[in-house]
Amino acid sequence: MSVDLPSTLLFLGRLLLGGAFVFAGLRNIQNAAFLTGLMAARGVPQARLALWAGIVLQIIAGVLVMAGLWTAIACMVLVMFLVVATPMFHNFWDHQGPDRAARINGFVGNVALSGGFLTLIAQSL
């Protein structure tokens, strides 16, 4: 039996990228009260509704990426999610010291995730 390495790597990549968002969405459920307050403080209207919409989006789009279903659409949705969420939660320009470094790391990580999703979009077209 031969192994199709490119297909195997693509499958693993989809599992990791999509799985990260399923995990993040589930984790955000546990932190919903804190995140709602943070979003409200940043001026997000209907912060609770926006948070739950984001959680549902993360989980559903993440599962679609993992399953390889509607991959380009799911990846585009997650890129748009990152464009909105990254400056809201990783606003390093408003912080100093170790907190600034942590937010820079989160910002850069989200930029890298966007790159992974753009790669999956290109591959699926």
Q: pTM for the whole thing?
A: 0.90
Mean pLDDT of the chain: 94
For residue 2, pLDDT over 90 is answered with no
**Cα separation of 82 and 101, whole Å?**
19
Given a contact cutoff of 8 angstroms between Cβ atoms, the answer to whether 116 and 13 are in contact is yes
Q: What is the pLDDT of residues 89-122, one digit of tens each?
A: 888 898 999 999 999 999 999 999 999 999 999 9
For residue 69, pLDDT over 80 is answered with yes
Closest CA to 62 of 81, 48, 83, 46: 81
Q: What was the pLDDT predicted at 1?
A: 57
Q: What was the pLDDT predicted at 3?
A: 81
